[in-house]
Chains A and B, each alone.
Chain A
Amino acid sequence: MADYLIIILFILGIWGMIKKDNLIKKVIALNIFNSCIVILFIYLGSRTGSTAPIMEKGIKDVVDPLPQALMLTAIVIGICLTALALSLILKIYQHYETLSIHRIEEKIKQKQ
């Protein structure tokens, strides 16, 4: 059941980045895409064990902690990209005064 959810999120992220007109919605779709990859790693990586990977006395069957560490790095990188994309959108709005990618491309075509 959760596998289908992951596939739906994946397609939704890519579709949002391609079809949406507003630049901020594209960045939100990029975030959905990154979150989908994170969920994929953690969910399908947690199938190898049964409890959280905290080493206390008597706990033997822990899940694989490596995907969780990898996904921390991936989340950090996603945050950096989102912050950078939002600052770039701020500057684009100051120059072009619109957030719609169609109108920005029309303005560029008109200038030439």
Chain B
Amino acid sequence: MNNLVIFLILIPLVASSFSLLNRYFPRLRIAEAASFGALILCLIFLGLLFQPLLKQKVINYPVGGWQEPLGINLYMDGLAWGSSLMGMTIALLALIFAWGEKKYRYNFYFFFLILIAGMEGVILTGDLFNMFVFFEILSIASYILIAYSRERKSILASFNYLLISSLGMGFFLLAIFLLYQQTGILSLREIAYLQLQTKGNLPVFNLAIISLIVGIGVKAAFIPLHTWLPDAHAFAPHPVSAILSGVMIKVSFLSIWRILRLFQAIKTQQIFLWIGAITAFMAVIWAIAQDDSKKLLAYHSISQMGFIIASFGVATSLSLAASFYHLLNHSLFKSLLFLSIGCVICSMEERDIQKLSGLGRKMPFVFLAFMVGALSICGIPPFNGYVSKNLISLSLKEHPLAYYLIFLASIGTVASFTKLSQIFRKDRAKRKNQGKEEASASRLHQKKLSRGMLIPLGILSILCILTGILPHLWTAAISKLITGEELRLIPVVYSLSSLTNSVFILGLGFALYLGIRSSLGQRILKYIRGLKLGLNNSLFLLVGGFLFLIFLGWIMEKGL
């Protein structure tokens, strides 16, 4: 039964080599069949692994039979199980969407399966250099998938991402060097064991941890390492956007989670509180200013990752459960939003918010799915965003400055999603002003959406509602999964104060939206939209962020 762990990485790789056979038999749909079969088989194996995981807390699988510390071990604990489940589900739904879109050749499925294999490898591995190799497999597959449509902006976005991410991975290798020189072993658990024994006798340990965080953090997109994300997620094909935003940034953050929890670096964990709060707040400001619908969603990915990171920074068990819960919820509703906007773009062939209107009547199902996603991300009961955002606010109660930054970020989220939903409403003010524009916009040719594109929207909406209905059950289950112990005190989420809090946020968000529509608001937004970081400046920001974090770590070691 333990063998099933390796199959989670092996089956996508084998299926990818099957999908290459499609080149010699172009009539049979080998690529799609192989990828669907692989993902369904992996989900079945994950289900089979649940019972052994409850019995033994950690399932250990040595690759090749070589035990630690000589060999590479795969560890499956509760955190890995939860994130594999989330990753496989979103990947299956994105694959159904890609099959429905009917314009991807066999090499799309090949790279998609390699992306999934790399993702599983990152989640399951217990060896530092193996993590580096799987991160690079993940990255190379994602560079190719982002540039798949061969338009100018996609290729430039992929190139930006390549340079920034390679620089980050160089820092990761630097961290591996520092740790290997001190301890002589590469396995994560053994290094953590050694470090806990010698109690901080390893002098360059902080530098190594900061390098690791910067290296993996380029993929997890917190400020100041976020500059590649808007272009890359906005100009990628729609299922690729969904899986990048929904799974890949979270898998990278989960690696940082695992490393920091293993090394028990509580001080470094608390830096994340401030990084998360600042990320959440600033990304929402950029998000409101965007006119391209997918770029708005991409900036929101950064902002919601800020929520997750801020909650991780407060290192109590309630906040960890809240962070993982929001991670799961965000992958569900962000994929839903990306896929529904993808449906809109596919059928209307127009991405600009200002040029689309009145789509609510033309595509009611997509409108319904979008409303489920938008209400979830704004934190409206009874959807899942409400539960996790409330838990995050409750766990941040002792840090008032971060609490207020997150509060302002929630208001901004409501405002920007009201702005995004204007493509579905009939805009009477616009029709009065620009009569000719409206007439030409309604001449936009609307293509019919195939059923394959609508199935994942339905399934994701149902999952969004399901994970929000019974918050006690879900919070207890998640806490047991990731920390192995029960939460002593689960706060009541549907209490009167929390409900009034969300009504307050909703009201202020609407007020902000009405303020944006004035002319002063439009001028400010135009200025924010013009502030764009070029490639040189984003690389400089990365290196600057690295030096700043080292400086911060040095101060915290000397001072505290």
Which of A's residues lie within 8 Å of B, judged by CB? 13-14, 17-19, 23, 26, 30, 33-34, 37, 40-41, 44-45, 66-67, 70, 73-74, 77, 80-81, 84-85, 88-89, 91-92, 95-96, 101-102, 104-105, 108-109
Q: Are B159 and A40 in contact (CB under 8 A)?
A: no
Q: Are A81 and B173 in contact (CB under 8 A)?
A: no
| A34, A44, A73, A77 interface centre (most CB from chain B within 10 Å) | A77
Q: Are B155 and A92 in contact (CB under 8 A)?
A: yes
Q: A30-B166, A101-B535 are in contact. Are A89 and B180 (CB under 8 A)?
A: no
- Which secondary structure characterizes the binding site on chain A? helix
Q: A30-B166, A84-B140, A95-B152 are in contact. Are A14 and B534 (CB under 8 A)?
A: no
Interface residue ranges of B133-151 to A (CB < 8 Å): 133, 136, 140, 143-144, 147, 150
Q: A84-B144, A85-B159, A101-B536 are in contact. Are A44 and B152 (CB under 8 A)?
A: no
The closest CB in chain B to the CB of A104 belongs to B156
Q: Are B155 and A88 in contact (CB under 8 A)?
A: yes
Interface residue ranges of B510-560 to A (CB < 8 Å): 532, 534-536, 539-540, 543
Q: Are A74 and B539 in contact (CB under 8 A)?
A: no
Q: A84-B140, A92-B155 are in contact. Are A17 and B167 (CB under 8 A)?
A: yes
Q: Are A26 and B163 in contact (CB under 8 A)?
A: yes
Q: Are A92 and B133 in contact (CB under 8 A)?
A: no
In the complex, which of the residues B163, B177, B534 contacts A41, with contact meaning CB atoms closer than 8 Å? B177
* Distance, CA A19 to CA B536, complexed state (A): 6
Q: Are A74 and B173 in contact (CB under 8 A)?
A: yes
Q: A17-B539, A18-B540 are in contact. Are A85 and B162 (CB under 8 A)?
A: yes
| Chain A residues with CB under 8 A of B180 | 66-67
> Is the C-beta of B158 less than 8 angstroms from some C-beta in chain A?
yes
| Chain B residues with CB under 8 A of A92 | 152, 155-156, 159
Summed over the interface, the residue pairs from A and B with CB atoms below 8 Å come to a total of 86
Q: Are B174 and A37 in contact (CB under 8 A)?
A: yes
Which of B's residues lie within 8 Å of A, judged by CB? 129, 132-133, 136, 140, 143-144, 147, 150, 152-153, 155-156, 158-159, 162-163, 166-167, 170, 173-174, 176-177, 180-181, 186, 532, 534-536, 539-540, 543
12 A-B residue pairs with Cβ-Cβ distance under 8 Å, sorted by A, are: A17-B167, A30-B167, A37-B174, A37-B177, A70-B176, A80-B136, A81-B166, A88-B155, A89-B159, A91-B147, A104-B156, A108-B156
Q: Are A14 and B167 in contact (CB under 8 A)?
A: yes
| Chain B residues with CB under 8 A of A91 | 147, 150, 155
* Distance, CA A84 to CA B141, complexed state (A): 11
Q: A70-B129, A77-B133, A95-B155 are in contact. Are A105 and B140 (CB under 8 A)?
A: no
Q: Are B535 and A73 in contact (CB under 8 A)?
A: no
The closest CB in chain B to the CB of A74 belongs to B173
| Chain B residues with CB under 8 A of A104 | 156
* Distance, CA A88 to CA B143, complexed state (A): 10
Q: Are A23 and B159 in contact (CB under 8 A)?
A: yes
Min CB–CB distance B300 → chain A (angstroms) = 21
| Chain A residues with CB under 8 A of B177 | 37, 40-41, 44
The closest CB in chain B to the CB of A96 belongs to B152
**4 cross-chain pairs, A with B, having the tightest CB-CB distances, nearest first:** A95-B152, A88-B159, A18-B539, A37-B173
* Distance, CA A92 to CA B176, complexed state (A): 34
The closest CB in chain A to the CB of B159 belongs to A88
Min CB–CB distance B236 → chain A (angstroms) = 14
* Distance, CA A26 to CA B534, complexed state (A): 14
* Distance, CA A89 to CA B160, complexed state (A): 11
* Distance, CA A51 to CA B438, complexed state (A): 78
Min CB–CB distance A18 → chain B (angstroms) = 5
* Distance, CA A84 to CA B144, complexed state (A): 8
| Chain A residues with CB under 8 A of B174 | 37, 40
| Chain A residues with CB under 8 A of B539 | 17-18
Q: Are B133 and A30 in contact (CB under 8 A)?
A: no
| B147, B152, B539 interface centre (most CB from chain A within 10 Å) | B152
* Distance, CA A45 to CA B173, complexed state (A): 14
Q: Are B162 and A44 in contact (CB under 8 A)?
A: no
* Distance, CA A81 to CA B163, complexed state (A): 9
* Distance, CA A60 to CA B163, complexed state (A): 43
| Chain B residues with CB under 8 A of A81 | 136, 140, 162, 166
* Distance, CA A26 to CA B535, complexed state (A): 11
The closest CB in chain A to the CB of B129 belongs to A70
| Chain B residues with CB under 8 A of A23 | 159
